[in-house]
């Protein structure tokens, strides 16, 4: 996607440098007693793209709805856009733009009318409205499609219209709830990069919900990993991957394996053999290893020995499921040229520095 430098410039001018969003002690308990969100502190920096990542039901949409003003946090929670307390401000006056999974475009309107809708509702005079719509259409590379009905657009074009419509009224914050999950896999891969680029072009503070780690890592500056109503860690993708805060984050981002076993000082005694740890650890500490951090070697000289149970060819590498480590097979990635097959005994080793040790 070619991005027009003039459009970027106009985008920065139109949307300013972005709004800081600060949530303090925000929790949400629904009337039926469901505690969808535990007390949460979270800051989204001006112009930052933050992903809320976690399994279904962990509270991502709940958190997004609190920022949007579609729901109110429990008593004691505070939400500020820059220095403005927005708790009492309903969605229509909070200056947020929203993009939903289905895009929810108005099917009976063309692209231009969809994009201009919010400005019209706000009562923006015609001349100013047209100017703004034209600028946003150009920013989102929709000029040539302006007069098309939205029913005659591809998935990628619809996504751009949905984002254009949401940002046209110059919201302070753009909120997106699973914008890619209704698409098929091939289209999703392509639109992921497009969306990442478009959001950067707009230089607007954005919070975007997904359950897909690849999507979160590809689009966001920072990813907040959630579990059961708690933000477990909010960090840049590289940091999440290299220094996960706990076993849940290690497993959810990058699929680290838990290693069952007993800690003895700086060793982990597993059912498959003994591994050296990077440091002494306390009893009850948990140890995780990424599939790509395990090396396969000859069984006789290896610290661990297991048996290949399944081998899946994934193009760039094989994924092996190796038995002998407890109830679940150990997931290991090996290069596509030298993968052992099912039934084979294999030796395994892990550089201690590539183990994650989490204290109890
Ligand atoms: P996610 O977006 O991460 O899939 P949600 O934020 O939608 O999760 O939901 C978090 C939890 O709150 C879930 O257990 C869900 O069933 C529950 N929940 C969501 N909305 C309501 C509601 N209006 N009333 C009661 N429980 C709700
Ligand atoms: Mg959701």
**pLDDT value for 249:** 98
1-33: per-residue pLDDT in tens?
333 334 333 444 344 568 999 999 999 999 999
Longest dimension (CA), the chain: 80
Mean pLDDT of all residues in 85-112: 92
**pLDDT value for 203:** 86
Q: Is the Cβ atom of 316 under 6 angstroms away from ligand 1?
A: no
Mean pLDDT of all residues in 118-122: 92
Using DSSP's 3-state secondary structure scheme, residue 38 falls into strand
- The model's confidence at residue 100, banded by pLDDT at 50, 70 and 90, is confident
Residue 172 contacts residue 150 (beta carbons within 8 Å): no
Domains and CATH numbers, the chain: 5-249 (3.40.50.300), 255-358 (2.40.50.140)
238-248: per-residue pLDDT in tens?
999 999 999 99
**pLDDT value for 110:** 96
Pocket test for ligand 1, best of 34, 40, 207, 216 (most atoms within 8 A of CB): 34
Q: Is the Cβ atom of 224 under 6 angstroms away from ligand 1?
A: no
Residue 97 contacts residue 169 (beta carbons within 8 Å): yes
Residue 228 has pLDDT above 50, yes or no: yes
Closest atom, ligand 1, to C-alpha of 28? 12
In this structure, what token pair is assigned to residue 278?
A: 């990077």
Q: How far does residue 98's CA lie from ligand 1's centre (Å)?
A: 18
Q: What is the DSSP string of 120-181?
A: HHTT--HHHHHHHHHHHHHHTT-GGGTTSBGGG--HHHHHHHHHHHHHTT--SEEEEESTTT
Mean pLDDT of all residues in 92-118: 92
Q: Whole-number mean pLDDT of the chain? A: 92
CA atoms of 227 and 250, how far apart (whole Å): 13
Proximal ligand: closest to the CA of 227: 1
Q: Is the Cβ atom of 33 under 6 angstroms away from ligand 1?
A: no
Closest C-alpha residue for ligand 1 atom 22: 30
Share of the chain above pLDDT 90, in %: 81
**pLDDT value for 125:** 95
Residue 6 contacts residue 14 (beta carbons within 8 Å): no
Q: Is the Cβ atom of 34 under 6 angstroms away from ligand 1?
A: yes
Closest C-alpha residue for ligand 1 atom 24: 30
Closest C-alpha residue for ligand 1 atom 21: 30
Q: Is the Cβ atom of 205 under 6 angstroms away from ligand 1?
A: no
**pLDDT value for 337:** 80
**pLDDT value for 349:** 96
50-91: per-residue pLDDT in tens?
999 999 999 999 999 999 999 999 999 999 999 999 999 999
Using DSSP's 3-state secondary structure scheme, residue 304 falls into strand
């Amino acid at each position: 996607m070619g991005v027009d430098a003039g459009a970027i410039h106009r985008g920065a001018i139109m949307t300013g440098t972005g709004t800081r969003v600060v949530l303090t002690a925000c929790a949400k308990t629904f009337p039926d007693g469901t505690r969808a969100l535990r007390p949460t502190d979270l800051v989204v920096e001006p112009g930052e793209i933050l992903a809320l990542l976690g399994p279904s039901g962990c509270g991502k949409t709940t958190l997004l709805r609190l920022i949007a003003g579609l729901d109110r946090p429990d008593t004691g929670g505070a939400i500020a856009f820059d220095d403005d307390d927005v708790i009492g401000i309903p969605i229509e006056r909070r200056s947020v733009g929203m993009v939903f999974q289905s895009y929810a475009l108005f099917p009976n309107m063309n692209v231009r009318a969809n994009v201009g809708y919010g400005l019209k509702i706000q009562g923006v005079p015609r001349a100013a409205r047209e100017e703004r719509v034209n600028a946003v259409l150009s920013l989102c590379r929709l000029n040539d499609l302006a007069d098309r009905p939205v029913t005659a657009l591809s998935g990628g074009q619809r996504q751009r219209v949905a984002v254009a419509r949401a940002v046209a009224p110059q919201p302070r914050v753009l909120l997106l709830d699973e914008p890619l999950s209704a698409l098929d896999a091939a289209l999703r891969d392509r639109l992921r990069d497009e969306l990442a680029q478009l959001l950067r072009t707009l230089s607007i503070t954005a919070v975007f919900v997904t359950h897909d780690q690849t999507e979160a890592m590809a689009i966001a500056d920072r990813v907040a990993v959630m579990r059961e109503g708690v933000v477990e860690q909010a960090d840049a993708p590289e940091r999440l991957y290299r220094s996960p805060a706990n076993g849940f984050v290690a497993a959810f981002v990058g699929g680290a394996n838990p290693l069952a076993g007993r800690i003895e000082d700086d060793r982990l005694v597993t059912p498959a053999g003994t591994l050296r740890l990077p440091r002494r650890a306390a009893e009850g500490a948990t140890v995780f290893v990424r599939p790509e951090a395990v090396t396969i070697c000859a069984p006789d000289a290896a610290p661990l020995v297991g048996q290949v149970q399944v081998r899946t060819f994934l193009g760039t590498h094989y994924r092996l499921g190796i038995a002998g480590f407890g109830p679940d097979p150990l997931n290991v990635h090996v290069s596509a040229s030298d993968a052992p097959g099912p039934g084979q005994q294999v030796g395994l080793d892990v550089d201690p520095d590539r183990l994650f040790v989490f204290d109890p």
